[in-house]
Each structure stands twice: as structure tokens, then as C-alpha cells.
A and B are shown apart, each in its own frame.
Chain A
Amino acid sequence: MLKYFLRQWWRVVFLLAGLVLQVWAILELPTYMADIINRGIVGGDTGMVWEIGRRMLLVAGVGGVGMVLAGYFSSKISALISAAMREDIFKKVLAFSVTNIDAFSTASLITRTTNDVMQISNSLVMLLRMSAQAPLMAVGAIFKAFETAPDMTWIMALSVTLLLIIIISAMLIALPKFKVMQTALDRLNLIARENLTGLRVIRAFNAERREEKRFDSANQHFAGIGFFAAAVMSTAFPLVQLVMSLTTLGIVWFGAHQIADLNLEIGNMMAFLQYAMQVIISFMFLAIAFVILPRAMVSWKRIKEVLKTTPTPITHRRSLSCVAEACGVNCFERISEKQEGEVPSPRAEATHEGGGSQAVLEMRDISYRYGEAEEHAVQNISFELNAGEKLAILGGTGSGKTTVVNLIAGFLDACHGEIILRGRLGLIPQKNLLFKGTVRENLKLGAKISDQDLEAAIQDACADDFLTDKGLGTAVSQNGSNFSGGQRQRLCVARALAIKPDLLIFDDSFSALDLKTDAKLRANLARHYKQAAQVIVAQRISTIKNADKIMVLDAGKVVGFGTHAELLNGNKIYQEIAHSQMSEAEYNTEVQAAKGGK
């Protein structure tokens, strides 16, 4: 935090200067006022009154300048600091690995980038403008008050103590309630949400009255706490007002005695009255700071967590960046090799490929384990994939399919073994992710690709029929929500094809396509991307039957590897899956065909 402030040091100096001017002016005015009364009125000197008045106007003007100065720099500092923070977080998150992001969760990272920074920005303005002035003002006013009427400062001390007691006890009583209130509100929201999502089930079970009752109890609970908190606040404010009124009364009453004893001039009593008010107001501002500060601190802590996290290193970053550059070099080797428990050592290699004999993708005895998990997510996986070959990965949820994809794509770093990828990787993820902008921007993502190549990719991905007349300039709204699921999927395929990939990964990515488009797309791939190797992740056997190799995963282990026919003949788990997805008759035909093919 200090680092951010230090970068703005000269603005902080100007801010302080502004605040000092402002405080000086506010404290100076009552002194002149006292002069007017003591010498002007009581002494009966009208000329004096006008002379002092002129000086007062000057002081008020200087104070105004100070205020504007303080306002300018406090706004500037908080805007600059929060913008710098936001940018730091964003860049940090971009550097994160999948593991880092999962540890925070995407939603939480978004909140930290936006809401938390906003919270800090708003608090900063308040703190810099008001609360920073408060200590200056309090010290100055106490000093002035002491100078004016030393025998009455005890009244000030007494009322400040009383006020602090009121404010602190109100906070101690109400603040915990506010927390309970939040959980009560969450509960209220939860039940309301359940009522909406369960609309049909509730009516099917004729449970409408019961749901209303359930909501009612949450509603009563929330309203009860809310009332209590409001009642505490409604009590605290009038009490604060009362203390302030009694303070003025006390000053006039004791002041009168002082005047009678010739210890005090009447103008000074009236000036003292104003200093006392300034002291009280300053302490109130300080109290407000103690309310704002913890909230800002919570946000800062959450931001710091992000900034302090070191991104999990990924050894093959270099080859990945080369992939995206899509420049002259068309073959890279990515190696991640290390023994379990070792500190990851960055090592990347790029070799130019001579002949076509080398495999596009090799996995050698790869294992991966998430963080502190006891079980491996995937274990001892080895295979080779040559240009033009299709590998299918089959398995249920939690079998490790996605982990394998993340390892190939370099999002995760293997704990053991080595992965070699020779060439460019075109990834089509499970979720159809598009960014706000144009179709062109979405396909290029900063790489140098000609419009011609982009258009060819779009045609091959069957994505040309739904673009507007603007073609590549067609607008994409946030998350691509102006396209249907199938359309988004086709654009994602086009994005992968545009970089002329050597390896394509389809992570369950055909789900939203209709049969006709699916067939056409497969035909295009076979025709124009014949040399590209493919990795297809799937759940249903029917979609991957024709793959060159099928890898069956269960609980992170390879439990079957071979062609459809081979697996159907000899693999128990594959047979079980096939059985569950086909009818008895079909299953038997398939098995017969497999035997015949053999």
C-alpha cells in the first residue's frame, strides 16, 4: 500500500499543504470574531469592526483555496492509486496458471479486480479528504482552545469522551448485528431463489403454502435484526446531538462565571465555543475513519493475496508464445521433464523439423497431482500421435480427461514425465469462449493472420452462414451472447483453424452442433487439415468410433488403449460403456462387426 503512496509522494505533499491552509483558515476566523466582540462591540469601535472584517474575508478566501487544493489532490491520488492497483491485479491474473486461478475461483478474482478496488478508491477519497484533516484540526483546535480559555478545556475533554463512548458502544452493539444481518439476508435470498428455480417442482408437490411459511420465518428473522440495528442507530444520533448541545450550554454557563471573575473576555468565550465544536467534529470524523478503514482493509487484504501470489511456473511458456506468433518457424519442441518433488526448472527447446517422421505429440509416462491431493489426477500416461492421426480420450466425469488436455495445452505442469509437442496447437475448449469485439479480433487474438486466411478458416468451420454483411467485422457482444451455442462453437473452431494448427484438441466440443453441420465440419477437416493430428475428448462412443486410437481413462489411469474394434473385443470397461450406450441388438451387431474386422 505504501508503495502505491510513495509513487504519488509529491501529490501527497500538495494535499497536506491544502489541508493545512484549510485548517488554518477555519481556526483563524473565530479569533477575529473574538476581536470584533471584545474590541469592537464591547469597546464600541466600529472602524475596527470593518478592518477585521476585511482580514476575515481574506482568510476565508485562503481557506477556500486550500480546500480546492486538497480536493483536487485527494481525488487525483485515489484515482491514480486505484487504477494502478487494478492494472497490477489484471496483469497478475493473466500471468496465473490454471492452478492459481482455481485456487481463487474466477468469480472471486473478478470481484477483487473491480469491487474491491472500487471500495478502496471510495474509502481513499473519504479518508484523504476528511479523516486526514481531522487530526490536524483536532490538534489545532485544542491548541487554540487552550490558548483562549485554558480553564474550560476540561469541558471539551468531557464531551469528547462522552461522544466516543456513545459512538463506540453503538458500534459494538450494532456492528455484529450487521454481520448477522448479512447472513440472514443471504438466507432470505436463498429461499427466494429456491422458490423461483423450483417453480414447477413446488407446484407439482402442491407445496406453495409450505414454501411461503419457510420464507416467512426467514423474512421475520431478517426484519427483526434489521429493526434492532436501526433502533440502535436511531438512539445514537440524537444522543450525539444532545452531548453537543449540552457542551455549548456548559461552556456558556462556566464561561459566565469565568467572565465574572475577570478570567475571560466574552469574545473569547464565543470563540472557545466554536473551537469546541471543531474538536468534537474532528473526533467524529476520526470515528468515521475507524468505520471505513476496516472495510477498506478487508478489500486491501483480498487484493494483496492476489498480488502476493507467485504464478506457478510453466516450463514451456516459450514454445507456447511461438505458437501464437504463427510466424515462419513452424515446429517447436516442448519438453517438461522433472522428477516429482523437484523444484521446477524452466527449460524450453525449439528444434526445426526436418522430415515428417517425428510424432506431433508425445507423452512419456506423465503423471499429475493437484496441489495437496492424495491421489494422482492422471498417472503414467504414454502415447505418441503422428501427423494426421486421431486420438480419442473416453471416460466419465472425474476420469482425468480435462487434466490430460490441460497438460497438453501447457496449462498444467506435469509432476513426472515429459510431453513433447512439435508444432502449433489449436485448442477448442469445452466452453465456447468469445470476447467482446469483432469476429476478426476474436480469431486473431493479436496474431498476424491475413483476412484471407481468416475467411478460409471461417468457411472450413461452417461459420460463414451466420455472419452479417460486415463479415469479419461482425460485432461480438460480451461472452459472444449474440450468437447461439452452436454458432459460438463454430467460431471457436475457426479460431483454432486460423493458426493452421499441427494439433487440434476438441474438448467435448461438438455437443452444440446439429448433425448436418457436424458432418460437414468433419468433412472439411478431413479435406483441408489432413496433416493435423487431432485429440478428441468425448463421453459417447458413437462420436469417436472412427478414431485411430482410443484411450479409455478411469480414475486417472489408462484402462484401455486401441481401436474401437480392439477395445470392443477385449476391454471390459469399454464393453461396459458401450453396453450402457447401445441397445442389446446394436451392441451385438457392433461386437460382431468388430470380430469380423479383426
Chain B
Amino acid sequence: MSNTEKPKSLKRSVRRLAQIVAHHKWLLLLVVVLAILSTVFAIVGPKLLGNMTTEVANALIAAFTTHTAININFTVIGQIALFLLVLYIISAAADIASGILMAKVAQKITLELRAKIVAKINTLPISYFDRHKFGDTLARITNDVDTILSNLSQAFTQIISSVVMLVGILIMMFTISWQLSLIVLATIPISTAFIGIVTKKSQKYFKATQDHNAEITAQAEEVYAGHNIVKAYHAEPVMTKKFEAENKKLRDNSFKSQFTSGLLFPIMNLIGNFGYVFVAVVGAGLAVDGKIAIGDIQAFIQYINQFNRPLAQLGQTIGLVQATFAASERVFDFLDEPDEPSDKATAELPKTILGNIECQNIVFQYESNDSPTIKNLSFKAKAGQKVAIVGPTGAGKTTLVNLLMRFYDLKSGKILLDGVNIADVKRSDVRAHFGMVLQQTWLIDDTLRENLRYGKPDATDAEIMAVAKMAGIKHLIDDLPHGLDTNVSEEHDILSAGEKQLLTIARAMLANAPMMILDEATSNVDTRTELAIARAMETLTKDRTAFIIAHRLSTIRTADLILVVNDGDIVEQGTHSELLKKKGFYFDLYNSQYSD
């Protein structure tokens, strides 16, 4: 959390945040009332306590001047004490209540914000995530919302109580003695000037410390990750020298930042002490002349001690408020991103899908690109056919697959599914008829069962085990101590990469869609598992229209149609033997990549 971050468009952040906060306006009003009540009672305390002391002192002075025995009126003192006791307890109770209520409001707001952000992930066009890193979105869900939560609950009550306290204490001080109040007020510009100078200096050093810390972290990251290289080339002395130089800078700046920021406290304290001395001396003078009661001096000193706190708090709160608006701006920027255009849904797919796919002159361009990725592509895949998509790495094979699933919309042209233009039907209906197995396996942090039936949540264990057998992972599940109840996820290392791949194949089998999209794994799988995966994929594509981003030769050779992609365009299409005869791009690719 950084307090120095400033919001770009303050107005919009304030307005959008206010809209959300306004849902809880009655609770918030109660928080305000309770906070004011608690603060006012807390302010009255010292004055009443002072009255008790005055009562004692007056009795003392009377005894001193008249040379009689001390006669303190304990009934009056007792009454004040009892009244104070009640006051303090009410004040504390109100404070507690306002704090808890505020926590409740903050909790509701963050719940709402987080849910909104996650819902937003699912309605944004996929292209948004081509332009933004996942880490950035994650930071909004966690860090930014967290900043809003903690600052809102802190800042809101603090601003109220600080302002009330400041005004209240000023009033109390002036009612006690305007001369003493002026002395205190005179110290404020002095201390604020000092605070200003010191904060400015220390912030500079804090920034430098942060930068050097980031730099040294980067260095450690590089050297530790490249440990082998450092050792193999004996680069330890160079790396150590670089590290030492950076470490020295970090050390010096860290010292300066700590020392300068630490000066704030002694300076404030010294000024406070000087004020204290003057108040004591001047107050004593006034008391001797009978212009002020002793209890009032005591109350006054307590007020000075309390006076600095709301001042410092307000200064802090300004930083908090700034950080809150910066964070809420980032959150609302995300929430206000345009959604995926809503479905036209002017047509409907037939009840039973056969799986005929036809692309007619499709043109597609990524938002971030200058030229279209797919220029003018047409092909026909009949129901049950296997279509292999081949080409060098980074040629844009996945683009075509993404278009079929309507993750992106076309610039022009049509994709027909059983004769219906998929742009005219609901996205979810199109996607429901596709199964997908990607190279990068994706599992949820849940049981094996939930992962397998992800595409068909009501599947029974018998159904699950049936596809597990087909995919060749039945023995794997049987071997696990908890069977289907075993917890799996990307992070857990229970399953190997190949086993995860098999799992996603079984998942797609269970969903039983008439069309399949497959991305063959290239590496990191040993030969035997590779064969098992190939077998499972074969089972999966049987009787289904399948689009396969192919790396295995056997897949390509047996495909009914091969689409050859290069530089983001489909340069050739046909069967293996047709394309080889052409002696074109495919011929070259085949010879260089697959047979050497």
C-alpha cells in the first residue's frame, strides 16, 4: 500500500465510491452520531476532572490563607466523579459500537466490490486479457480492495473524530484561558513547518530506499536463478561486487530515511515540552493572580497532550484518503471496462448438432495489431472429420480455434455451424457444443471428481469412472488413496503433466460435445505417456468433428483436412498427400520439421 499514489480523476473515483457507500447510508449515519457522541464526552472529561482538582485546591488555599483546617467538600467531588465515571463508560461504549458498525459496513462494501470484479472477469471480452496481465487484475481484487477496506474504515471514523476533537478541544481551551490558548496556537505553525520539512526530506529517502530495495531484489533474483551460470563461469567476484555496491546504497538511504522520519517525534516532543513549560509558567502566574483555577491548568495540560493527536491523525488521513481514491480508481477502471457485446441471438441452433463447420471468407484482426491476422479464409469441415492445424510456432494456430469458439468476433465473413451463423446465436450455445483440451492443462483446486465432471456437474461416479477408463486413467484413480475424493490442483504435485493432460481429456469426454478442439502437447511428457495421450485423443475425436493443433505426425497424416498456418494466415489446405504433391510451404515445413 502506498500513500503517495495520487488518483488521476478524483471526481469520478469519489462519485463511484460514494454510490457504493450510499447503499449503507443509514448505518453510516449511526456511525457518525456515535463517533461524535464518544468524542464530545471524551473532550468534556479533563475539564470536569480539573474541576475536582480546583475544588481541592480552593479548600487548600482557603486553609492556607485563613490558617484553619483543610475542609474539602467530598459531596461535590463525589458527584463530579460519579458523573465522569458514567460519561467515560458511555463514551467507550459509543466508540466500540461505532467501530464495530464501521467494520460491518467496510466488510459489506469489500464483499460487493470483490464479487463485482470476479463477475466482471467473466463478462469482459477475452481480448481485454490480451492487453492486460493477470497479475494486474489480481492486484485489483486483493491489494486495491484491501486498501479501500482498511483505509475506509480507518479514515472515515478518524476524520470525524479528529475534526470534532480539534474543534472541541479548541473551544474547551479558550473557555479556560485565551492567553494560554494563544501560546499553544503559536506553537502550531512552528511544528507544522518542521513537520513539513522533515516529511519532505524523509519521503525522498523512503522513495530512494524503496527503489534500491527493488534493485537489490532484482539482483538477488537474477543471481540465485542463474546460480549455475555464476558457478560455471566463476562470476562470484563480479556479482558480489555489484551486490555490495547496491547494498551500501540501500543501507545509507535506509538509515537516512529512518533517521529523518525519526526526527519528527523528538521535534514535536520538544516543541510540546516548550509549550508545556510556558503553559505551566504563565498558568501559574495567572493562578497566583486568581485569574485561573489550578484544576484548569491540569485540564489545559491534558488538552495540549490531546491536541497534537488529531492534528497528526488528520495529516495521516490525507495520505490514506489519497491512497483510497487511487485504489478505487483502479477498481472502477476495471469495472467500467466495456463488456463483451451482448448476444444478438436472432437465430437458434438446431436441436441436434451434427457438427458441420463452414468458414466463409473470414477476416479477423486483433485489436492491438495493425493488420488482420486472418485475411480471407474459407474451408469446410464435414461432421465427424478430423481437421489438423499445422504451422511454425507463433504462426497463430490458436487464433482460428478461438474464433470457432467465439472467444473473439470476426471482422467480416461467416462461420456456419450446421448452416447457422454462429454470430447470430448465443455465445453460450455455441460453446456448449465444443469440447476443449488445451496444452496448458487447467484444473480447479478441488477433488478429482469435481474436476472430471466440470463440464457436466450432475454426472454420477459410474459415468465418471466410465470415461476415466476410456481415457486410460482408471488405474491412476484406483491407485490414489482417496480415489475420486483426492484433491488436485495446478499447484499440487500429485499428478504429472501427462496425467493432467489425460484428466482434461476425460473431462472433455464426459462433457460429450459433438465438436472437439485439441491442442497436442509438444514436450515435457515421456514417450509412454505420450502414447497414452495419443490413444485417448483418438478415442475422444472418434465420431466428432475435431480441430487439432497438431504436432504429431500420425495425427497429421490421418487428418481429413490439413490447414497450414503461417504468419497468421492460412496458406494452404488439403490432405497430407495433396499438400506434399504441391511442393509448397507444407512440403518445406514437413521436410524441415518432421524428417530432417
* Residues in A whose Cβ lies below 8 Å from that of B428: 206
B481 to nearest A CB, angstroms? Answer: 20
Q: Is A387 at the interface (CB under 8 A from chain B)?
A: no
Can you pick out 9 interface pairs between chain A and chain B where the beta carbons lie within 8 Å of each other? Answer: A83-B254, A96-B227, A203-B407, A208-B122, A226-B110, A246-B85, A324-B232, A583-B553, A583-B557
A416 to nearest B CB, angstroms? Answer: 22
The verdict on A74 contacting B262 (CB below 8 Å), with A266-B60, A545-B596, A583-B553 known, is yes
Interface size class of A (residues with CB under 8 A): 35 or more
Is the beta-carbon distance between B252 and A41 smaller than 8 angstroms?
A: no
Digitize A46-82: 1 where CB-to-B-CB distance is under 8 Å, 0 elsewhere. Answer: 1001101100110011011001100110111011101
B515 to nearest A CB, angstroms? Answer: 11
The verdict on A194 contacting B213 (CB below 8 Å), with A76-B259, A435-B223 known, is no
The verdict on A200 contacting B407 (CB below 8 Å), with A57-B277, A324-B233 known, is yes
* Residues in B whose Cβ lies below 8 Å from that of A447: 233-234
CA distance A214 to B446 in the complex (A): 11
* Residues in A whose Cβ lies below 8 Å from that of B251: 79-80, 82-83
Is the beta-carbon distance between B269 and A64 smaller than 8 angstroms?
A: yes
CA distance A227 to B103 in the complex (A): 6
Is the beta-carbon distance between A266 and B231 smaller than 8 angstroms?
A: no
Is the beta-carbon distance between B254 and A238 smaller than 8 angstroms?
A: no
* Residues in A whose Cβ lies below 8 Å from that of B298: 270, 273
Is the beta-carbon distance between A411 and B254 smaller than 8 angstroms?
A: no
Is the beta-carbon distance between B434 and A204 smaller than 8 angstroms?
A: yes
Q: Is A189 at the interface (CB under 8 A from chain B)?
A: yes
Smallest CB-CB A-B distances: 7 pairs: A234-B99, A324-B234, A396-B526, A67-B266, A446-B238, A53-B281, A83-B251
Is the beta-carbon distance between B595 and A542 smaller than 8 angstroms?
A: yes
Digitize B31-60: 1 where CB-to-A-CB distance is under 8 Å, 0 elsewhere. Answer: 000000010001001000100110111011
B482 to nearest A CB, angstroms? Answer: 20
A473 to nearest B CB, angstroms? Answer: 17
Residue of B53, B217, B438, B445 touching A191 (CB-CB under 8 A): B445
Residue of A33, A196, A249, A435 touching B81 (CB-CB under 8 A): A249
Is the beta-carbon distance between B259 and A72 smaller than 8 angstroms?
A: yes
Is the beta-carbon distance between B277 and A60 smaller than 8 angstroms?
A: yes
Is the beta-carbon distance between B234 and A321 smaller than 8 angstroms?
A: yes
Is the beta-carbon distance between B56 and A580 smaller than 8 angstroms?
A: no
Digitize B205-233: 1 where CB-to-A-CB distance is under 8 Å, 0 elsewhere. Answer: 00000000100111111111111111111
Q: Is B167 at the interface (CB under 8 A from chain A)?
A: no
Q: Is A429 at the interface (CB under 8 A from chain B)?
A: yes
Is the beta-carbon distance between A195 and B118 smaller than 8 angstroms?
A: yes
Q: Is B30 at the interface (CB under 8 A from chain A)?
A: no
* Residues in A whose Cβ lies below 8 Å from that of B219: 436
* Residues in B whose Cβ lies below 8 Å from that of A260: 56, 59, 70, 72, 74
- 164-181 of chain A: CB within 8 A of chain B: none
CA distance A256 to B402 in the complex (A): 85
CA distance A579 to B123 in the complex (A): 46
* Residues in B whose Cβ lies below 8 Å from that of A210: 457
CA distance A237 to B95 in the complex (A): 9
Segment of A87-95, A137-145, A343-351, A366-374 engaged in the interface with chain B: A87-95
Residue of A nearest to B445 (CB): A190
Q: Is A150 at the interface (CB under 8 A from chain B)?
A: no
Residue of B56, B99, B229, B273 touching A63 (CB-CB under 8 A): B273
Segment of B133-141, B316-324, B471-479 engaged in the interface with chain A: B133-141
CA distance A206 to B233 in the complex (A): 52
* Residues in B whose Cβ lies below 8 Å from that of A478: 218, 221-222
CA distance A316 to B560 in the complex (A): 58
CA distance A109 to B596 in the complex (A): 43
Q: Is B502 at the interface (CB under 8 A from chain A)?
A: no
Residue of A nearest to B230 (CB): A94
B219 to nearest A CB, angstroms? Answer: 7
CA distance A408 to B386 in the complex (A): 46
Chain B positions within 8 Å of A, measured between CB atoms, are: 38, 42, 45, 49, 52-53, 55-57, 59-61, 64, 70, 72, 74, 77, 81, 84-85, 88-89, 91-93, 95-96, 99-100, 102-104, 106-107, 110-111, 114-115, 118-119, 121-123, 126, 129, 134, 137-138, 141-142, 149, 153, 213, 216-240, 243-244, 247-248, 250-252, 254-255, 258-259, 262-263, 265-267, 269-270, 273-274, 276-278, 280-281, 284-285, 287-288, 294, 297-298, 392, 402, 405, 407, 427-428, 431-432, 434-436, 438, 442, 444-445, 454-455, 457, 489-491, 511, 523-528, 530-531, 553-554, 557, 592-596
CA distance A577 to B84 in the complex (A): 89
Residue of A86, A239, A253, A434 touching B52 (CB-CB under 8 A): A253
Is the beta-carbon distance between A42 and B111 smaller than 8 angstroms?
A: no
CA distance A39 to B149 in the complex (A): 54
CA distance A76 to B95 in the complex (A): 40
Q: Is A450 at the interface (CB under 8 A from chain B)?
A: no
Is the beta-carbon distance between A397 and B56 smaller than 8 angstroms?
A: no
The verdict on A90 contacting B220 (CB below 8 Å), with A40-B284, A76-B255, A192-B141 known, is yes
* Residues in B whose Cβ lies below 8 Å from that of A320: 231-232, 234
* Residues in B whose Cβ lies below 8 Å from that of A273: 298
CA distance A94 to B241 in the complex (A): 12
* Residues in A whose Cβ lies below 8 Å from that of B445: 190-191, 194
Known contacts A71-B262, A204-B434; 8 additional CB pairs below 8 A are A46-B285, A83-B250, A90-B240, A90-B247, A245-B45, A256-B72, A260-B56, A427-B233
Q: Is A382 at the interface (CB under 8 A from chain B)?
A: no
* Residues in B whose Cβ lies below 8 Å from that of A580: 527, 530-531
Residue of B nearest to A499 (CB): B233
Is the beta-carbon distance between A94 and B142 smaller than 8 angstroms?
A: no
CA distance A253 to B489 in the complex (A): 66
CA distance A355 to B179 in the complex (A): 102
Is the beta-carbon distance between B407 and A125 smaller than 8 angstroms?
A: no
Is the beta-carbon distance between A75 and B262 smaller than 8 angstroms?
A: yes
Q: Is A515 at the interface (CB under 8 A from chain B)?
A: yes
Q: Is A398 at the interface (CB under 8 A from chain B)?
A: yes
Q: Is A201 at the interface (CB under 8 A from chain B)?
A: yes
Is the beta-carbon distance between A53 and B142 smaller than 8 angstroms?
A: no
